[in-house]
Chain A
Amino acid sequence: MTGPHNGIVMSARNVVKTYGGTRALKGVDFDIRRGSVTSLFGENGAGKSTLMKILAGVESPTSGEILLDGETVDFSSTVDAREHGISIIHQELSLAPNLSVRDNIFMGREITTPTGVDFGEEARQTAQLMKEMEEEIDPLTLVAALRLGQQQIVEIARALSVDSRILIMDEPTSALSASEVTVLFKRIADLKSRGVAIVYISHHLEEALQVADHAVVLRDGSVTAVAEVRDVDLGWIVRNMVGANFSLGEPPSEEGFGEVALSIEGVSVADAANPTRLVVDNLSLDVKAGEIVCIYGLMGAGRTELLEAVAGRVPITAGRVLLKGADVSHLSIAKRLAKGLGLVPEDRQRDGLVQTMPVGRNLSLASISGLVRGVFLSGALERTLVNESIGTVGVKTTGAEAPIGSLSGGNQQKVVLGKILATRPEVFLLDEPTRGIDVGAKAEVFRLLAAGAAKGLAVLYSTSEVGESLSIAHRIVVMRRGHITAEFGPDATKEEIMAASGEAVAV
């Protein structure tokens, strides 16, 4: 890609990154140019963040090389990368909430004089930075006292205050208001004119197109398209992002629909951080036995909160949840599970697996109470259940005693699925069940869900990948800001679904 618009400052050449058996990046080439914005597009799990982490020195590539000004570099750490003039704005904020804005901005590079830190000078520069960002934030305010959008501004200001040649922005606008985004774009224009090379990643495709000069599309760990932004449109981006419909399965036949198994009636859930805000707002949804319903939505749409509220992990502030007509809103997670309502959580490391237990004990955990004979657990019953589960969900493992950490991501996810399936649920909730697993495992997970539905299981799963909403679901419900904004059948198009989620307004 060394065309007429040269000025490449940094590039990745044939970069491969594997995690265990999963290949997150499969030989990626990527260029960053001086004084221009390169936007990286791709769905969740396409490998965007992995690539950025490699460029910023957070992770090392398994193979391939990183060139800086034409010379091979091997960053040992982020500090190393920063010394080479590369800084990154992570999508997760990395501020210390207990410190002031000033102290956060100068964290690790305090301005010192022989008598100690020059707080006055730091405060002056911080005030200047805030002025440039058009924010009225006092340098001595504690970061904890700022709203999320302002915290993101501080994070951005900190990255801008370091004179870097290459600035990577990973979802910098997720919490910003429209006017704040405008200010950010002005600053990006300033930086471009000063010759800074910028990488911009955002789920808001239109926003990214507005600011970018070059577009690179990543899918399943490979670059699928590269173009000048002025030559392409939103439709081109979406087509290259989601690719052809590789088959993740078809919706099973609809004849088997039974009674309404799960009924969500006017449920509201308050934001844990800010109880006056509703993350799920008066939402109603029915799922019938044998039906597969997909909730599609962007990050922060309220999908996770809805599913956790239905499962009983977070309290609901209004409405009720009915399981086969019986109100379960006030029952504990354990009681709901016993009545046939189980959740596979989004983050399997944090919420799904007990890392100190082997595969078998993880599989039997949710149904362990049923394996008692007399006072003690029956080893034989447990072995039968575990072996059956391993077979049903197809976990590839050396045995029930293998440590859970020895499995690949996909197999770990199957263990979490198998654990809930072993309780013989009637309603199966899954939050992003395919997050961080490879395509083959995705298809297997969906096959399991389709097989369950064919036997009368009611399935409600969430996803932020439009291709997955169009696989096995009989019905696709689009969620945006706590509401259902649209409902589609399996014949919907990707563009329609994405438009309803607020991702792409018109194509």
Chain B
Amino acid sequence: MSRNGPPTVSSATNDVERVKPASRFAVGRLLLEGRAFMALLVVIIVFSILSKNYLTVNNMLTMSSHVAVYALLAMGQLLVILNGGIDLSVGSTLGLSGMVAGFLMQGVRLDAFGVVMYPAVWVVVIASCLVGALVGLVNGVLISRFKVAAFVATLGMLYVVRGFALLMTNGLTYNDLGGRSDLGNTGFDWLGFNRIADVPIGVLVMILVALALSFLLSRAVFGRWLYASGGNERAAELSGVPVKRVKIWVYVASGVCSAIAGLILSSELTSASPTAGTSYELTAIAAVVVGGAALTGGRGNIRGTLLGAFVIGFLSDGLVIIGVSVYWQTVFTGAVIVFAVLLNAIQYRGRRRRNQPGGQPPATTPADHLTEPASEPSGH
């Protein structure tokens, strides 16, 4: 999707140029670069053999709509990870977004006027997204202005946001988000149930978000700023990149993506549970990693992350279809993640071979030791 070379692609081809490997290595390298795609093919082929029902258009679309929720979370997460951060609050934000939608769909009682207001569905959608953006804003400000470690700040928000979601109903679930035609607020289930040209709306939303973010990353100034500040924040800052602003925006974007995922999930279920999305943040991180992004920042793209989400989603749905125990699914998912990280380590190996005696750049390249012939006085 993002054809205009995000770093993984371009630097990879150049690795080939520099190392000038024999052709047999080139095949191995190709498999390594395209591993998420290969993994997806393997998953599809294996399950198609094991079950006749797997490779049908209908099943593919159903599975894709499951994937859409994870993929939306993962794309938001990718932005954060490209920046060199992590967002653990996305699962909770997903839950809160659904609860906000549920709350608004039930009607807002305005005691002062003695009326109950039933906001239109589009208002509900915007309100939920704003809540997601607000969570992201808090994360971003904590991390960029107050220098709280991303892991800690978003871990805290994971609890806070989940707590708010539970507080809204004392832990109860909002059922029946269908709305009533006499109140003029029907249509919420459209997101989760309807299809356009047979494609579930959730999948279409995922595709739209993916296209938008792809263009953002590969063609907009913001994308370049993001890759630069994730690759080397100090250098980016000296090049005039507003690194703090970029950082806040990626968390806001991640919050909005989570909110959209929450809307789709609660619409599919026509109910909003305050515990929805628990531990989804880990699945999202896994999808980003399987998609080849580096947790140190600066490397990764939307295409890889989407593939990562599909690998994880198609694998777990496939295991359900062939009737494998849920517990085995957990084991398989974990194994895929470890394997993906292992391959990442192989791909990026040599880029940070030896620590330099002085400062350590965030992501070093193989040529580091080619560049400082005499690392003479630098410190004080």
Seen from chain A, the residues whose Cβ lies within 8 Å of a Cβ on chain B are: 17, 19-24, 44-50, 90-92, 171, 174, 203, 299-300, 311, 313, 332-334, 337-338, 343, 345-358, 361, 365-366, 368-369, 371-372, 375-377, 379, 398, 401-409, 412, 419-420, 423, 435-436, 438, 464
Contact = CB atoms under 8 A, between A and B. Distances in A.
Given A333-B238, A355-B361, A436-B375, 7 more contacts: A48-B374, A91-B379, A174-B380, A313-B237, A338-B240, A350-B232, A365-B228
A349 B368 contact: yes
A410 B198 CA distance: 58
Interface string B365-380: 1111111111111111
Interface stretch (B202-210, B215-223, B305-313): B215-223
Given A337-B240, A372-B221, A352 B367 contact: no
A203 B376 CA distance: 11
Minimum-distance CB pairs A-B, first 6: A405-B365, A20-B370, A405-B367, A356-B231, A356-B298, A24-B373
Given A352-B235, A355-B361, A357-B7, A408 B228 contact: no
Interface string B1-17: 00011010011011101
A351 B234 contact: yes
A369 B221 CA distance: 6
A377 B220 CA distance: 5
B220 to A, nearest CB: 6
B365 A377 contact: no
Contact of A406 (B14, B240, B351): B14
Interface residues of B, number: 60
A44 B373 CA distance: 11
Contacts of B174: none
B63 to A, nearest CB: 33
Nearest to A332: B242
- The DSSP consensus for interface residues of chain B is loop
Given A19-B370, A409-B370, A334 B241 contact: yes
Interface of B: 4-5, 7, 10-11, 13-15, 17-18, 215, 219-221, 224-225, 227-228, 230-232, 234-242, 294, 297-299, 351, 356-380
Looking at B242, B297, B379, the one whose CB has the most chain A CB atoms below 10 A away is: B379
Contact of A354 (B220, B221, B298, B378): B298
Contact of A357 (B231, B358, B366, B378): B231
B240 A333 contact: yes
Contacts of B370: 19-22, 405, 408-409
B6 to A, nearest CB: 10
Nearest to A370: B221
B248 to A, nearest CB: 15
Contact of A334 (B240, B367, B380): B240
A334 B225 CA distance: 12
Given A333-B240, A376-B215, A377-B219, A354 B376 contact: no
